[in-house]
Structure 1
Amino acid sequence: MIKNSDFKICFSVMTVLTILVGLFQSWGIALSMLNLCLISAVMAMGVNIQWGFAGLINFGVMGFLAIGGLATVLISVPPVPEAWSAGGIGILISGLFLLAVVFSVLIINKKIPNHKYKNYFIFLIIILSIPLLKFIAGPSISKIESINAATSGFLGGANLPIIFSWFVGAILCALVAFVVGKVCLGLRSDYLAISTLLVSGIIITIVKHEEWLSRGVKNVIGLKRPVPYEVDLQNSEWFIKLVEFFNSSKLSNILDPDEKISLLNQLVITSSSVFVKLCFSLIFLVVVITILYFSEKALNSPWGRMMRAIRDNEEAAKAMGKNVVKQHLFIFMLGSAIIGFAGAMLVTYDGLFTPSSYQPLRYTFFNMGNGPIRRNR
């Protein structure tokens, strides 16, 4: 197990290296590195809750990141009226049909628990619903994707603040994790890892190819920000004066007015990028500290001790009356929600949603190796 002194040394080295990048390259690059590290820290804490607290190996990290990223599109992007007029009704009807199929399966599973033909009947319902769903949604999807395909071609979103999408992404990931957990958490170790990796591939495939929902590989650009835009800062009088104040010694050495104005403009452009990244850093730091605080509280609480007991000896925990299945499902949902939250943060920081960048194993092993399991460090 890694000692506390080793953690301090690692963080000190990383801090020094980041400062050196800022001094010898640019502070914009240094802050970009810091922001990606903070987002990765949130991802790693989500994975650690699943693997470290409960021993659940989740190789489907990238799938939940994609769901979190998709949430930013569904929440923050303005709706496309032409697309809704062309095929919105058909999509809503197909959604209601899909819900009806799901509820039918749940009711059959609950009302006929021990019938020998139950599974065959459920399988028949699912198989028959696929062509019916395609028949209902297919024409609407074609119409939506043909509306300004180069710039739009999808339904858009709800045009709400993008910060709200972070929480929606967490909720969506928790719901998906509930479904996945009901199916996969009966497996253990390498089988659970393989099944979650498969689920991740399915999610990413859907996000890539359902252009009416996410524009697919065409990407969604120009997403909203919770911080100012560089162009707005460059045209703000208060920001120009602030840059001039912090660089007064450098500007005072230049006598030529035109050269001074040119240098000031360059400083304003550079400083605007640094200011935006610094604003992101402050927001991400608040998120990291908040999640870390509650993770530590949970780890040292009676619930955390119960989870460690389940992880270390599941049979003994069952003998003591603990509902192991329920606790595993809850912690799988909780960890996935945090991963989805990080996915929404990442897309917000990038300012665009690129489904093709979600590779099934990308970040997965990085986050599993990002510090030891069982602790929030």
Structure 2
Amino acid sequence: MDAVVWTAVGSLTVWLWLLLGQGFFWRTDLRLPPRREPADWPSVCVVVPARDEAGVLPASLPTLLAQDYPGRAEVFLVDDGSSDGTGELARELARAHGGLPLTVDSPGEPPAGWTGKLWAVRHGIALARTREPVYLLLTDADIAHAPDSLRTLVAAAHTGGFDLVSQMARLRVESVWERLVVPAFVYFFAQLYPFRWIAVRGGRTAAAAGGCVLLRADAAERARIPDAVRHAVIDDVALARAVKRAGGHIWLGLAERVDSVRPYPRLRDLWRMVARSAYAQLRHNPLLLLGTVLGLALVYLVPPLALVAGLVVGSAGTAAAGGLAWLLMTVTYLPMLRYYRQPRWLAPLLPVTAFLYLLMTVDSAVQHYRGRGAAWKGRTYARPGTVLDER
């Protein structure tokens, strides 16, 4: 039992550090920073990459076209080889709803070394630059925006002097599996990339949420966006790192009125969403995979197991350490459940969700070595090291 006791104590120590020393990642009160409206509103071009998005476009595109923005703004939807009529549907929605001007175009198939999404983004940015915008809004086809979304993003960037302002859209949480998995996804992301550290100038932490990224056009040019990250599967984090490396000031927080309308009703839908990029996050490194699996086990699985083991064998120290670690885990998860308007009884189930994520991560590696790697909508991408990486 000595090894079990020390393992439980180790887990408790990690949780005490996570509670106080990881940028208060568990807090969910970080919203758009204080802002004032500019006297002259800068021009904005909205770039929307879309591949087979006919199912969600009616709920998302009209919200972009209806933006209440005082300055000049227009939308560029880039149809990335869709087979479901995404491009024509976008034109029909624009004719029916009006609002901001919409351009629909297609770049053709991506060349070697590019992911399809980033090739579409590149094409959209090239179209947008002919209008000489001050800002680019990069947003996904499944993201619905409140009417003042663009206005508040630009005001926040202008007031704070940010080169990049990103909001993590509130994901859909309706099915049983979405309730169990989705809030934890954002919780784990914030644990890896504490939002408060991201805005620190000169800091190493950089991340963005790809569904909603407002980017200064000149900052994108300095950072060579998207060419510098053209092979990235996790493109939002790679983009933020490139902007920060180029001297940009960036900000990321949770959204109030920017929502994803994409449903993930079944476990296999969520599994595919996580597994397609989990091993890429670990840079396809088996040692990082092993460390991640052991880390997840120590941090999330040991506490409840230690509590049960301690109670069974009568080891008060083991039970106390495991129980306290589980309590800290539960308490830090509650704010995220409140943000997603979910019941508090889900908080103690976080070890179950963490175990699912552990299995998804391992499956991501297995699929990679089977040659099925980062697959999305009919495309499978090679590891970054197999393509030319220009410096």
Range into which the TM-score falls when normalised by the shorter chain: under 0.3
> If you compute each CA radius of gyration, which structure gives the higher value, 1 or 2?
1
TM-score w.r.t. length of structure 2: 0.23
Q: Specify which structure has the bigger relative contact order, considering alpha-carbon pairs within 8 angstroms and separated by 6 or more residues.
A: 1
